[in-house]
Structure 1
Amino acid sequence: MGAETAVPARPEGRYGPTPGASRRPWTRWLFGIIALVVSLGAAFVAYLNFGTAPIDAQRIGFSIKPDNAIEIVMDVTRDDPGRPAVCIVRARDLSGAESGRREILISPGGGTMRLSTIIRSVGEPVTADIFGCSYDVPRYLSTS
């Protein structure tokens, strides 16, 4: 009962080289470098999209006004207070759809600024929020 079974050798021409023999050892390095470059690129794009924003705006509150208007109060903090900025605020109706929008010029000045503005709406507004802020101030809002 001590008979050992031998594994028959595979024909080289039919199945290719044996698993341990690599014809091109440089391909491992090439794919490793490509994977590293792609990973660094993805990390850079994620940093640009999810990193800290240069302008932080937070809604403090809102109040409904007569004639389909709503007032929003917000705090704006910029990483460069010496530059003018613009924030877009919007009113929303009961369905959540945007029913009014307004751009606010934030003039250069100190750290955190508290601002208030009134947004006119096409229907009855139920809330107001901040759509976004940017240093790209349109020419028609510029004071210079």
Structure 2
Amino acid sequence: MSEQLMAERYGVKAKHRPRWIRSLVVVLVLVLGLLVAYIAYRNLGADPISTEVKSFSASGQDKMNLTFTVTRDQPDRAVDCIVTANLQDATELGRREVFIPSGDSSRTVTAAVTTGTRAATGKVYGCSYTVPEYLGKTGPDR
């Protein structure tokens, strides 16, 4: 359809946008897509520290022994893990922090968690490379 015919039919002359505006929009969409992909990778990618509970057993009425394996992507860094002892309904009875010094990328640790009553299960709440000052250089059975 010619511009003249469009102007007669619709009363408006068709406007053409400069080509550089389309290019700018395409570049902005690509940059935004890359940014979203990067954020998704950082938030949803593989965990830098993973844990697996190997066993747990009640030791008397007020203690739970929890054995777990920590696998980390940076073995040259120390790790702080929080472990908990729980009732069957997931009520937390006790918790403690466990210092894992730098070393092998995968390490199995046993930690005792003091409880107020007999625990039914134990779990690793989480681990971090951010080790608080007060943990210092103590081992898992501090």
Is the shorter-chain TM-score for this pair beyond 0.5, marking a shared fold?
Answer: yes
Q: Does 1:140 align with 2:139?
A: no
Instruction: Tell me, yes or no, if the aligned pair for 2:82 and 2:95 is still in contact at 8 Å.
Output: yes
Give the letter for the 1:91 counterpart: A
Instruction: Tell me, yes or no, if the aligned pair for 1:75 and 1:113 is still in contact at 8 Å.
Output: yes
Match runs of 1:77-116 below 5 Å: 77-116=71-110
SS in 2 for 1:10: helix
Give the letter for the 1:113 counterpart: R
Q: Identify the match of residue 37 of structure 1 among 31, 34, 37.
A: 31
Normalized against structure 1, the TM-score is what? 0.74
RMSD: 2.4
Instruction: Tell me, yes or no, if the aligned pair for 1:93 and 1:123 is still in contact at 8 Å.
Output: no
Which runs of 5 or more residues in structure 1 are unaligned? Answer: 1-8
SS in 1 for 2:31: helix
SS in 1 for 2:47: coil
Inter-partner Cα distance in structure 2 for 1:25 and 1:12: 25
The Cα offsets for residues 40-91 of structure 1, whole Å up to 9 and x where unpaired, read as 1111112212223332221111112322432211112223323221111122
Aligned length: 131
Q: Does 1:52 align with 2:34?
A: no
The residue number in structure 2 matching 1:10 is: 9
